[in-house]
Amino acid sequence: MIAQPDIAAAYLPLHARLHLGLDSADGAAVVIAPGIAVTNAHNANLLNPKIVIGARADYDLLFFRTARSAAPQTALPVIGESVTAYGQGADRELRVAHGTVREIKTCPGCTAPAYFTFVGNAGPGFSGGPVLDDSGRLVGITFGYKDAKSERLIYAYDMARVRAELEAFGHSAPAR
């Protein structure tokens, strides 16, 4: 159960049966503006194509329409800050991963950070899911992970990057 009411109202589990119902896939999404949610572009197979607003393959982001309107407060990630990520397990159960922001990566000429990393125990099913700070504010969207030595490094897009990519489709998600 998600303890923060804003995120609980905005969290969208994604699940689809694939290959004649024998295989399944899981991911997550979150509402970022009234009627608009975000997940990863590699989760496109988990959504009805008719609700898709657009995908940014270069940033692995996909925006889609939703009936939900509750968008959570957002904030910027801070190096050393504790974060919590949410995702879906294979049995459709909510999964939670706790970690600490390790690094914020920028790109030349970008108006928003490219992404940030945190150490935690997120993995399959967390793609497209929300990352929250200790105050329960949305700081990012998970897009990948890499095992390195004795830890797992999780990658997430900063909400400034997510808003910038949504604006490319002529929509806006206000910074709250």
Digit-coded pLDDT (tens) for 141-173: 999 999 888 888 999 999 989 998 998 888 766
Total residues belonging to the chain: 176
Which residue from 78, 86, 83, 80 is spatially nearest to 10, judged by alpha carbons?
Answer: 86
Residue 89 main-chain phi, psi, to 5 deg? -90, 170
For residues 23 and 157, the model is more confident at 157
What integer pLDDT is reported at residue 157 of this predicted model? Answer: 95
Indicate the burial class of 82 (C-beta count within 10 angstroms; 0-12, 13-18, 19 or more): middle
Structure confidence by residue, pLDDT tens digits, 50-62: 999 999 878 899 9
> Which residues are paired to 63 by β-bridges?
38, 54
The phi and psi torsions of 127 (rounded to 5 degrees) equal -55, 125
pLDDT value of residue 22: 47
Q: Is the pTM of this model over 0.85?
A: yes
Residue 126 and residue 97: Cα distance in Å, rounded? 9
Q: CA-CA distance, 40 to 45, in Å (whole number)?
A: 10
What pLDDT does residue 175 have? 62
Position with higher pLDDT, 89 vs 55: 55
What average pLDDT does the structure give for the chain?
A: 86
Question: pLDDT-based confidence at 31, cuts 50/70/90?
Answer: very high
Q: Give dist(CA 46, CA 28) in Å, integer.
A: 9
pLDDT digits (tens, 9 = 90+) for 98-130: 999 999 988 777 777 789 999 888 888 899 999
* Pairwise CA distance, residues 44 & 33, whole Å: 19
Query: What integer pLDDT is reported at residue 176 of this predicted model?
Result: 58
